Structure 1
Amino acid sequence: MNKAWWKEAVVYQVYWRSFFDSNGDGVGDLDGLIMKLDYIKDLGVDVIWLNPMFQSPDKDNGYDISDYYQVMEKAGDMKVVERLINEVHQRGMKLIMDLVVNHTSNQHPWFIESKSSKDNPKRDWYIWKDGVDGKEPNNWRSYFHPTPWEYDQTTNQYYFHSFAVEQPDLNWKNPEVRHEIYQMMRFWLNKGIDGFRMDVINLLAKLEGFPDTETPYNLSYLGNNPGIHEYLQEMNREVLSAYDILTVGEIPFVTPEDGLLYVGENRNELNTLFHFEVADDMKTWDMITFKQIQKRWYEGLNGQGWNSQFLNNHDHTRQVTRYGNDHIYRVQSAKLLATMIHTLPGTPYIYQGEEIGMTGVKFNHIEDYNDIAMKNKYLEEVAKGKDSTQVLKDLQLLSRDNSRTPMQWDNSENAGFSVGKPWIKVNPNYVDINVEADLNSHDSIFKYYKKLIALRKEHDVMVYGDYEDLLEHDDKLYVYSRTLNDITWIIMLNHSDDEVELRLNDMYAQKENTLIITNYADVNEEESLVQIRLRPHEARIYQI
């Protein structure tokens, strides 16, 4: 395994519209991010991942881009972006941006031309098909809609959209499209950004012929299709290989074997990836399943490719609510999850607010939600005659808005996020859970994160160490080792609300050990490692 700066990095994700509002319009912006860069720097992270801030009608919070070379007015302008890049670099950090090239907005000039007529030069820049027997071209679904096909009366054909109707998919089979995208990527890299998080990058290649499927609700037919690796290898040759950058692909529907094809060090495609065997497939915490996922991915990539570690982001409910205990053990649970993410193999990602233990929300009315995927699903289910209250309840846990509420800076109005009315409601618990309160607490989650990140910079074993699960079949305890040369770290996590006794192999009794970090302040550092009682959501790391 080769060493690389991006393997050793810790990434902090900024969902800018919910981070900090500098001008009082209720929407976070890039000036607000610049004002808070010292806060991020103090945490110790190396890379900031910025969600899309390109020109957009904002139907899907910026993931519907109408101009790749302009900045959304809500976010700022190009001068602010240039200043942001400079300010990030001045603080010794790097900046990566979202690359959204599976689709554009339906208001992008390319699409407006494409739909104008069948013989327009840009017609083939998108995917157009005739209907079949007066219906859609096939029986597929989209992520946000019961069908991925939208009928256009002007040309009497359907266009394809993997997501919202307003997000038509680009036709990557067309070399002109690919050339245009590569040119845009070079533009931003030459501006000084340090890489890309690539939105649903494995969806670029479509199944030849668009055949009907027997399982339309299993959307895996949208991704990993023949041609995808040729596209990414071409992208690497044409653009990526010329820059020392971080590339991380958002890649659903993959096994470790598939994943290695994207990130294998001999493949010349991407540096690393997000897979979704946890975030998409594990609705609530399942210890045994999680252990199995970690083992398979470690064994599948070990020595050949690189993984990412995350439990929440702008699309997935906050980790302490979904996978931890956000009530009486919120602080301990938040620290335990942090310990786990920062010590498992791969690059750790922190989603804004996670470092103070922010929780998910449950709004009482569908009107309080902005998530287009959730709102469309709500309408679809209610139209079937289902009880609207139950439908809302069923959709709440996995709503993307759970993680999109404004950053909670202090206990003043709107959590110190904005002096105006926020674009989405603030979580009511901001009065107690906020940055100011956490930093003043003797039990600060932020300071625990800061210590974990500092340890990762000081100890290569956290980054490059071999991984072994020491208690594969325990459904409460997650105990594993990381070993590099003659150094072994034992990570002990009691991921439950109960006190649990941990018994390790006697071999550890004969070895000297040092307590590296713990999320409980009163741990007896002389305690034998052979028999330990771990309190609810207790986390410890020992060096053997």
Structure 2
Amino acid sequence: MRITDTSDLWWKNAVLYCLDVETFMDWDGDGRGDFGGLAHRLDYLSDLGVTCLWLMPFFPTPDRDDGYDIMDFYGIDKRLGHIGDLVEVIRSAKDRGMRVIADLVVNHTSDRHPWFQAARSSPDSPYRDFYVWSDEIPKDAPETVFPGEEKGVWSFDEKAGQYYLHRFYKHQPDLNTANPKVREEIAKVLGYWLQLGLSGFRVDAVPFFLETTEGMLPEGPDAGHSYLRDLRSFVGRRQGDAILLGEVNLKFKDQLAYFGGPDGDELSMQFDFESMQRFYLSLVREDARPLARTLARRPKLALQSQWANFVRNHDELTLDKLTEVERREVFDALGPEPRMQVYDRGIVRRLPTMLDGDPRRIRMAYSLLFSLPGTPVLFYGEEIGMGENLDAGGRQAVRTPMQWTDAKNGGFSTARPSALPNPVVADGFGPDHINVNQQRHDPDSLLSFIQLLIRRYRASAEIGWGDLSILEQPHASVLAHRVTGPLGSMIALHNFSPNALTVPLTVDGVDAETRLVDLLQEGETRTDDRGRAELDLEGYGYRWLRILDPGTRRLS
């Protein structure tokens, strides 16, 4: 993929904010969030520093999988508003310097989608091959994504008289992406939403999406990636700076293929699941080395490719890349109760509750998020420290209504509580204690701190564009990393232990009296003639330091 203007690579230093319209703000008082509510909260998101909104599915749905079971790829669920409301949100967001992307869920549909209803009606239906059918369950059937909730990935349809494939729930039959007609329909979906103003898509479950293609096309094992390149090319032709942000929970070496390798012609961005999982292991052990080792082997990407960094997302906190012993260690520390765990691989809690509300550890975590090379992604409510409601069950525990005020329903809705899509958090992390209105007027709040991190991140171009190196120092509990790019260089220190420390560092390639200027607080440190400096860190402390020549003016 040839890049002619790097200014089009807006995602390299963006700040993404994921939200579910249904749980963000209810404007018409029916108990469900809607596009009218989102429109009235765009100024809040702009003030926070968000540059790109990621909207979870808003399409017509039976809502058996929180909107990921789609009945119409071209519509808006009437409970959320209509297409004009979405267009108004996109326009208003762009007026405030924010782009909008949306979930692209094309690995399956709802079983109530007209395509599937037509497909099951007759073997001669033109939609029959839109899905994957078999007369019997194959012997080499893969495992289900949801162990404990689904027995397998093949279910028998009485009307069709055959088994159909579903890697997710049985009410979500897989699309046959090997079928050229299915590809044509997917291209129409992409083109439609790009024409309405979206700046790209978060592509759901990419390996499963391509697995069907690779298993059914004669081109061989590269068939899926060939199709992914075609999708990226199509998006680029329709809108040159549109992105594909992929959910690819694989090891680094496998993720490279989904970027398109050195050509960078497949996914624009991918979530860094490996580093996220080792972060939690380091957090539990108060030992930065598991994360440091993982970051050190992070592959270098093509110019137009990017890592998406996150602390928490809308699904379970998956720990599938850890060993069984490591996973149990994290479970015991952060989610010890059975109701806090799901699928034998994840935790259904938010960060503040896992850390017992300790503001030092919470702030250290987000400082690290924004200092790592890549693009930070926030899940709604993270900026104020929202908790979860375990009574909601499973993944729904973290998908509770946004907490705007300490009023009824947290200011999310004026409806009766039973009308809400999920119950509001009711414990010490509920709206009585945690809400936007309270924190907006408190300069020492988590919200104010996240705003500061976003400002410093956006002013530090090297974080989005630079290269990462792990710095040697003697403390196992400290992660010291450097990010170096054409526009600058900075060092970040993060202490995973409660003990105050002095960290000796040697900064390569600097002159005597080079200045290390703090970016998150007042102060600076000078190196000696060998580039050495000693830096103090509080327990669970963090520091960002800009590397400046002696004569450079002080940063504001």
AA at the equivalent of 1:437? Q
Alpha-carbon separation, structure 1, partners of 2:474 and 2:191: 48
1:352 matched to 2:354? The reply is no
Partner of 1:18, secondary structure, is: helix
CA deviations over 1:210-268 (Å, ceiling 9, x no partner) = 79xxxxxxxxxxxx964211111222333433312122111122424532442546242
1:22-171 map, 5 Å? 22-132=27-137, 138-144=140-146, 145-171=150-176
1:446 matched to 2:447? The reply is yes
AA at the equivalent of 1:333? R
**Comparing 441-450 with 75-84, which one deviates more in the overlay?**
441-450
- Tell me, yes or no, if the aligned pair for 1:138 and 1:210 is still in contact at 8 Å: no
AA at the equivalent of 1:85? I
Q: 1:334–1:304: structure 2 CA closer, same or farther, 3 Å change rule?
A: same
CA deviations over 1:50-106 (Å, ceiling 9, x no partner) = 111011111111101100111112211111111111111121211111111000100
1:222-241 map, 5 Å? 226-241=222-237
- Tell me, yes or no, if the aligned pair for 2:271 and 2:308 is still in contact at 8 Å: yes
One of 412, 417, 426 as aligned partner of 1:417: 412
Partner of 2:74, secondary structure, is: strand
One of 509, 515, 520 as aligned partner of 2:518: 515
Partner of 2:270, secondary structure, is: strand
CA deviations over 1:261-305 (Å, ceiling 9, x no partner) = 4254624222111242245687654533322222222x3426573
CA RMSD of aligned residues (A): 2.9
Alpha-carbon separation, structure 1, partners of 2:483 and 2:214: 47
Alpha-carbon separation, structure 2, partners of 1:427 and 1:21: 17
- Tell me, yes or no, if the aligned pair for 2:258 and 2:267 is still in contact at 8 Å: no
Q: 1:473–1:261: structure 2 CA closer, same or farther, 3 Å change rule?
A: farther
Alpha-carbon separation, structure 1, partners of 2:316 and 2:473: 26
1:490-529 map, 5 Å? 490-505=491-506, 510-518=513-521, 525=524
CA deviations over 1:157-210 (Å, ceiling 9, x no partner) = 110111111111000110000001101110111111111111112322336897
1:202 matched to 2:207? The reply is yes
1:268 matched to 2:270? The reply is no
Partner of 1:407, secondary structure, is: coil
Q: 1:159–1:46: structure 2 CA closer, same or farther, 3 Å change rule?
A: same
AA at the equivalent of 2:90? I
Alpha-carbon separation, structure 1, partners of 2:243 and 2:132: 30
Provide the TM-score with structure 2 as the length reference: 0.81
Alpha-carbon separation, structure 2, partners of 1:505 and 1:120: 69
- Tell me, yes or no, if the aligned pair for 2:213 and 2:224 is still in contact at 8 Å: no
AA at the equivalent of 2:402? M
Alpha-carbon separation, structure 2, partners of 1:349 and 1:412: 28
Alpha-carbon separation, structure 2, partners of 1:453 and 1:208: 40
AA at the equivalent of 1:411? D
Q: 1:269–1:487: structure 2 CA closer, same or farther, 3 Å change rule?
A: closer
CA deviations over 1:125-173 (Å, ceiling 9, x no partner) = 10001115xxx65443211222011111223211011111111100011
AA at the equivalent of 1:426? V
Paired residues, number: 490
Q: 1:319–1:167: structure 2 CA closer, same or farther, 3 Å change rule?
A: closer
Alpha-carbon separation, structure 1, partners of 2:214 and 2:372: 41
Alpha-carbon separation, structure 2, partners of 1:101 and 1:328: 38
Alpha-carbon separation, structure 1, partners of 2:381 and 2:267: 28
Q: CA deviation at 1:473?
A: 8.1
Q: CA deviation at 1:486?
A: 7.9
> For structure 2, which runs of at least 5 residues remain unmatched after alignment?
318-346, 548-556
CA deviations over 1:310-369 (Å, ceiling 9, x no partner) = 121111459994499633522x33322222121211111111111112234433xxxx32
Q: Which residue of 1 aligns with 2:305?
A: 305
- Tell me, yes or no, if the aligned pair for 2:263 and 2:302 is still in contact at 8 Å: no
Alpha-carbon separation, structure 1, partners of 2:458 and 2:401: 30
**Comparing 11-20 with 286-295, which one deviates more in the overlay?**
286-295
The percent of aligned pairs where both chains have the same amino acid is 31
Q: 1:252–1:352: structure 2 CA closer, same or farther, 3 Å change rule?
A: same
Partner of 2:73, secondary structure, is: strand
**Comparing 415-424 with 157-166, which one deviates more in the overlay?**
415-424
Q: CA deviation at 1:432?
A: 1.2
Q: Which residue of 1 aligns with 2:540?
A: 537
Alpha-carbon separation, structure 1, partners of 2:457 and 2:356: 29
Alpha-carbon separation, structure 1, partners of 2:524 and 2:309: 29
Q: 1:336–1:444: structure 2 CA closer, same or farther, 3 Å change rule?
A: same
- Tell me, yes or no, if the aligned pair for 2:261 and 2:302 is still in contact at 8 Å: no
One of 335, 340, 354 as aligned partner of 2:368: 340
Alpha-carbon separation, structure 1, partners of 2:242 and 2:50: 16
Q: Which residue of 2 aligns with 1:392?
A: none
Alpha-carbon separation, structure 1, partners of 2:114 and 2:49: 41
Alpha-carbon separation, structure 1, partners of 2:103 and 2:507: 49
Alpha-carbon separation, structure 2, partners of 1:279 and 1:32: 32
Q: CA deviation at 1:487?
A: 3.7
> For structure 1, which runs of at least 5 residues remain unmatched after alignment?
212-223, 375-399
Alpha-carbon separation, structure 2, partners of 1:435 and 1:115: 49
Partner of 1:502, secondary structure, is: strand
Q: 1:281–1:56: structure 2 CA closer, same or farther, 3 Å change rule?
A: farther
Q: CA deviation at 1:471?
A: 4.0
Partner of 1:301, secondary structure, is: coil
Q: 1:447–1:510: structure 2 CA closer, same or farther, 3 Å change rule?
A: same
